[in-house]
Amino acid sequence: QVQLVESGGGLVQPGGSLRLNCAVSGRTFGSDTMGWFRQAPGKEREFVAAISGSGGGTYYADSMKGRFTIARGNAKNTVYLQMNSLKPEDTAVYYCAADPAPFYRGTTLFDSWGQGTQVTVSS
């Protein structure tokens, strides 16, 4: 089992930036594919981005391409989500998740989740 703790959320104005962090402990960090998901009030959870165990492969939802960047620091057991050009519709609770496979295999096999961090984009 892997433990995930998100941080970095908060209130930001439209057009602003935030960086989310996910501290990971448990399984060997470099063996997991890591992902970010989000859930807005009244909506289903949706995929944001994922990164393979080696960091060599990154995957994004279409609406986040060009604005969000996922990265991992394997030496620090941390996954990051840099979010730029934020919009009010990006307001949601953002969750970090882990899939025990080292390569990305879609959005349905993430088996460990953090508690989430709130991101609010508002003027």
Residue 31, phi then psi, degrees to nearest 5:
-90, -10
Amino acid at 32: D
- Beta bridge pairs of residue 58: 51
Per-residue confidence in pLDDT tens, the chain, 123 aa = 799 999 999 999 999 999 999 999 987 777 899 999 999 999 999 999 999 998 899 999 999 999 999 999 877 799 999 999 999 999 999 999 999 999 999 999 999 999 999 999 999
Tokens read off for 90: 């990006």
Torsion 66-52-35-119 (CA) sign: negative
pLDDT at 42: 94
> CA-based angle 48:71:25, to the nearest 5?
95
pLDDT at 27: 76
